[in-house]
Amino acid sequence: MPDVHRTVDAVWKLESARIIAGLTRMVRDVGLAEELAQDALVAALEQWPVQGVPDNPGAWLTTTAKRRAVDRIRRSERLTRTQEQLAHALDQRQGLEPGPGTDAGQDDVLRLMLISCHPALPTRARAALTLRLLGGLTAEEIARAFLATPSEITRRMAAAKRTLAEQRVPFDLPEGPELAGRLASVREVVYLIFNEGYAATTGDDLMRPGLCLEALRLGRLLAELAPQEAESHALVALMEIQASRSAARTGPRGEPVQLHEQNRGRWDQLLIRRGFTAMLRARQAGGPPGPYLLQAAIAVCHAQARTAEETDWTRIAGLYGALEELLPTPVVRLNRAVALAMAHGPRAGLDLADTLTADPALRDYHLLPSVRGDLLARLERYGEARLEFQRAAALTGNAAERAFLLRRADGLAAATGPALPPGPTLGQAAHGFLTRGGPDASTVHSYGQTLRRLRLDLGDQRPLASVTAEQVAAAFATAWSGTAPATWNRHRSAVRSFAAWASRADLAAGVERRTGNPAAGARPRTPALDPAQLDALWSRPDLPLRERTLWLLLHESAAPVTTVLALDAEDLDLDDRRSRPAGPARSRVSWRSGTAALLPRLLAGRARGPVFLSDRRPGPARTPGPADLCPETGRRRLSYERAEYLFKQATRTLDPAGDGYTLRRLRGTRRP
């Protein structure tokens, strides 16, 4: 029995992508296609232990799944006209479907890859859906890879499939510029998966090799399916060469080993040769060099050097300059700063890195202070370097990298250099200020948010006496330049109170109070629907009870959409017209007579589970966690995406642009 189960699992890993792709071509719904494929998998687990493993397991799974698809289509009234055609096609196939090497099979897999990486989906959802549909990974396996919960991954994938269905994303292969754009989205997802495995952002380990291998497999598959795309081959070359360094990237205790310190004898020469071959194919495909080709060329420079000293850093700096012209991002500039430092000295690199400290995109990017720390140490500015390494350690979410950065900081403790001012550190002073007693809990919480941001930006271990008004002003500009005046002034008041307590009143001197309209670049407050639009909405006779209750509750409470959707029946105090907070992070939601009249009808006697439920029970492959499942009806919590979609559909006639409004438009003001 266990051997049969292992066989089923192995066949599923190999064939699932092709099966789901073929089903998607039939039913035009990737979520339904996966559900049908799962039904076939369950049938195999039930029948193969009794009947034996068929001679062609993949064809058996395909035939079973497609028969179920035909049954489903036949039950669907809107596809009645295609019944005979589909049934005839199935009778002719009789279990021998095109193999993965045929053009039809390859086109279907490419279509599935384009759908799972559709730009309409959030990036993380694209990655999870790709691993599920094309990698055959379970929600549990994906959750372990991304250090998330299985229910979170399941919700993410369910929302993605629902978005694809609601937007009616076609299964046809796009052409021309649209195909190029969609392939770029696939490459982005594949490289995201690779990077999460190559340099894990969170967790205890520096690398997750399983994700790297899966990204390599997907990248090779993409290059095979779209052989004319130079950037796809270049992406494979980049990943092959980077993966070749895996064994040399960590030391005996799992600590990171920097590139110039790695033992190049441990680099995998087979992967390097594969990378060179993929690079040759990319050049043969022709066309102007793209971002992945330039990054692959940089990787080739490293791989060709027998030692770190022989690396052609001048060429690498030039390649990063060309890459910056195509991708003028702060991360590319930071990498160019490293290359300039290696080619022309640490001063050149530090000058460029210093220009990035005010960039909001890098305010939580631990590699910026890490690079600055390394360059400062090379310039023998050890005290400043130590503070930068400590700040980088506070920003990273990876335990191995944090320990490495703290060791680097500790290693500079005894180094000679300008002495740092005595006295408490910024972190110690902030802790003393917040725990001194006096202000109420909400004020302490607000002050804590402001000071936490300053501590991350300036460094927890920075001596308070060395903090300047210019540094505080720069941190403010990076963190809150785009906020409304009220938010800016709230943070300013917190710093002024802290500075007065610490006898450093000068710290807030560079932060001016804001008045009037929001600063340039601030996100404007979402305008509320006007009374005429609201009246038109509430007077609709066809408005379902669930939507009427949800929308009226959002309007009367002015509470965030996510807070309202998270309400459970046991949270509600119907007599007092408010919710009971379920924990310190939950705020109360209160409502008025309109909602009070509707809630009892909506609950219909339910005392447990989510207040707002989906229309149907979830399928076997979409079962949410217990917290999002009603124990009485078996239906799941209404998702934000579905609630938003329904509101947009209902308000299209009210919107002059015809797009419909977001639920935030109900929060503008309370209903009178």
Beta strands in 501-657 (DSSP E): 572-573, 578-579
The pLDDT tens digits of the residues spanning 42-95 come to 777 777 777 778 878 878 888 887 777 776 666 554 444 443 444 444 444 433
Amino acid in the structure at residue 613:
L
Q: Give the per-residue pLDDT at 271.
A: 93
The pLDDT tens digits of the residues spanning 98-121 come to 444 444 556 677 787 888 888 778
Q: Give the per-residue pLDDT at 15.
A: 72
User: Which range is least confidently modeled, 168-172, 470-474, 592-596?
Assistant: 168-172
CA dist 265 and 257 (Å) reads 14
pLDDT of 541 above 80: no
The pLDDT tens digits of the residues spanning 213-242 come to 888 988 898 888 888 899 999 999 999 999
Identify the band that residue 589 occupies on the pLDDT scale cut at 50, 70 and 90: confident
pLDDT of 20 above 70: yes
Residue with tokens 């629907």: 529
CA dist 120 and 116 (Å) reads 10
CA distances, 283 to each of 191, 215, 277, 319 (Å): 20, 22, 10, 16
Angle at 63 between CA 61 and CA 66, to 5 degrees: 105
Q: Could you tell me which residues come within 8 angstroms of residue 409 by beta carbon, excluding any fewer than 6 positions away?
A: 373, 386, 387, 389, 390, 393
Q: At what angle do helices 176-198 and 230-243 cross, to 10 degrees?
A: 10
Identify the band that residue 420 occupies on the pLDDT scale cut at 50, 70 and 90: low
Tokens representing 406? 């703290």
The pLDDT tens digits of the residues spanning 239-269 come to 999 999 988 988 887 778 888 889 999 999 9
Q: Could you tell me which residues come within 8 angstroms of residue 570 by beta carbon, excluding any fewer than 6 positions away?
A: 607, 608
pLDDT of 2 above 90: no
User: Which range is least confidently modeled, 67-71, 156-160, 448-452?
Assistant: 67-71
Q: Give the per-residue pLDDT at 72.
A: 66
Q: Residue range 374-378: average pLDDT?
A: 93
Residue with tokens 């530090």: 350
Q: Give the per-residue pLDDT at 93.
A: 40
How many residues comprise the chain? 672
Annotate 471-498 with DSSP letters as a single string: HHHHHHHHHHTTS-HHHHHHHHHHHHHH
Tell me the percentage of the chain whose pLDDT exceeds 90. Answer: 21
Q: Give the per-residue pLDDT at 333.
A: 93
> How many C-beta atoms surround the C-beta of residue 306 within 10 A?
9
CA dist 98 and 102 (Å) reads 6
Q: Give the per-residue pLDDT at 358.
A: 81
Q: Look at 103 and 385; give whichever has higher pLDDT.
A: 385
pLDDT of 27 above 60: yes
Tokens representing 295? 């990054």
Torsion, CA 579, CA 581, CA 587, CA 588, rounded to 10: 20
The pLDDT tens digits of the residues spanning 476-530 come to 888 887 778 888 888 999 999 998 898 887 888 888 888 865 444 444 556 778 7
Amino acid in the structure at residue 517:
N
Q: Residue range 264-284: average pLDDT?
A: 93
The pLDDT tens digits of the residues spanning 338-359 come to 999 999 999 999 999 999 988 8
Tokens representing 267? 């680099």
